[in-house]
Amino acid sequence: MGLVVFDLDGTLIDSAPDIQAAANRMLDEQGIDPLDLPTIISFIGNGLPKLVERVMQRVGLDMARHTELTAITLAHYNAATTELTRPYSGVEAALQDLQAAGHVLALCTNKPEAPARAILRDLRIEQYFNAVVGGDTLDVKKPDPEPLLYILRHLGAAQAIYVGDSEVDAETAQRADVRFALFTEGYRKTPVDMIPHQDRFSDFAALPGIVAAGFKEG
């Protein structure tokens, strides 16, 4: 029994198509051609303001407009968070198994908290999560360890496993001194072996076993 904290984008859900749609709507309003999915995926991981910054850099938009264009992109995104977004295969069954095994579950994402909560609601998985921290919940976001440590403190957990898909998640877990399980099928940019992790999996059916063994090992 223990605390299992999840990342969201590229871990529980394949959300890139809706993020792409929001970014491309904003670009279209600026008279700029759309960006393809692999490009958008390569920009995900450090939160929406950073994604918009990377988009603007790529297409040569004036950075003085960053705050304005971030707000516009977020509005487009909030209007359609789950048009194309789906949980990865086996996610709901794994959440159910983990909860039935007595684990406490939480979410630690760099996605802003409002769309993160809306997605959990729309995909009918919000009931599994005892705490949700988004990229704008605290003053700092991942890879700062504080969002993850905040959840541990908030839920009174001495021990946890963090489940994520990216370099940012691995660094967050390492700096928080939390065990890290890497989902290999998300949005990482580098080979699996270059990302520090204690466990890895490509199929959510394997996760309950990995979590049980991880807590035993400590």
- Catalytic site positions: 7
Q: Should residue 165 be labelled a site residue for Mg ion when binding is judged by CB under 5 A?
A: yes
Q: Under 8 Å CB-to-CB from 37, ≥6 apart: which residues?
A: 16, 17, 20
Q: Should residue 15 be labelled a site residue for Mg ion when binding is judged by CB under 5 A?
A: no
Q: Under 8 Å CB-to-CB from 205, ≥6 apart: which residues?
A: 90, 93, 94
Q: Should residue 171 be labelled a site residue for Mg ion when binding is judged by CB under 5 A?
A: no
Q: Which is nearer to ligand PGA, 7 or 97 (CB)?
A: 7
Q: What does 53 bind: ligand PGA, Mg ion, none (CB cut-off 5 to 8 Å by kind)? A: none
Count of residues of this chain found to bind Mg ion when the rule CB under 5 A is applied: 5
Measured distance CA(133)–CA(171) in Å, rounded: 17
Whether residue 36 is annotated as binding a ligand: the answer is: no
β-partners of residue 87 are: 13
Torsion of the alpha carbons at 187, 173, 113 and 209, rounded to the nearest 10: 70
Q: How far is the CB of 195 from Mg ion (least distance, A)?
A: 12
Q: Which stretch binds Mg ion (CB under 5 A): 63-71, 97-105, 151-159, 162-170?
A: 162-170
Q: How far is the CB of 144 from ligand PGA (least distance, A)?
A: 12
Whether residue 165 is annotated as binding a ligand: the answer is: yes
Q: What does 51 bind: Mg ion, ligand PGA, none (CB cut-off 5 to 8 Å by kind)? A: ligand PGA
* Phi, psi angles (nearest 5°) of residue 217: -70, -30
Show the tokens assigned to 103. 């684990």
Whether residue 136 is annotated as binding a ligand: the answer is: no
Task: Please report, as ranges, the residues that interact with ligand PGA according to CB under 6 A.
Answer: 7-10, 44-48, 51, 109-111, 135, 166
Q: Should residue 166 be labelled a site residue for Mg ion when binding is judged by CB under 5 A?
A: yes
Q: How far is the CB of 18 from Mg ion (least distance, A)?
A: 14
Measured distance CA(166)–CA(172) in Å, rounded: 10
Task: Please classify residue 102 by burial: count the beta carbons closer than 10 Å to its beta carbon, then call 0-12 exposed, 13-18 middle and 19+ buried.
Answer: exposed
Q: What does 47 bind: Mg ion, ligand PGA, none (CB cut-off 5 to 8 Å by kind)? A: ligand PGA
Q: Which is nearer to ligand PGA, 10 or 215 (CB)?
A: 10
Q: How far is the CB of 210 from ligand PGA (least distance, A)?
A: 19
Which of 2, 9, 56, 157 lies at the binding interface for Mg ion (CB under 5 A)?
A: 9
Q: Under 8 Å CB-to-CB from 31, ≥6 apart: which residues?
A: none
- Three-state DSSP state, 151: helix
